[in-house]
Amino acid sequence: MTKITMQDLETIHPYKLTFLLEDAAKEASSEQIVPILLKALQHKSALVREGAVIGLYFHTDALGVKEKVVDISSTDESPGVRETALSIIDDSF
């Protein structure tokens, strides 16, 4: 099982971190991973934020996730992150 911590958000290279977030989201419970994914949405790297959005796809039933994805779809500075959020909305809401 892929494990990731809040500290990892600051120490792992963005390229690797995005894949770790996606993998961990597939395996972890919402209780374990959603707080980390939500924190990752604040990362300076758009690549990491996009990975976090993709991870949230697996946890759309968790409290506040749908609302956050909708928010990101219109407010993130990266067009790629916004587009990914819109894809998740179209696919799962």
- pLDDT tens for the chain, 93 residues: list them: 788 999 999 999 999 999 999 999 999 999 999 999 999 999 999 999 999 999 999 999 999 999 999 999 999 999 999 999 999 999 887
Q: pTM of the full predicted structure?
A: 0.95
Nearest to 13 by CA among 67, 51, 61, 69: 51
Q: Where are the domains of the chain?
A: 8-92
Rounded Cα distance between 50 and 14, Å, is: 11
Nearest to 72 by CA among 60, 61, 90, 84: 84
Q: What is the pLDDT of residue 92?
A: 84
The Cα-based distances of 4 to 22, 59, 92 in angstroms read: 10, 16, 25
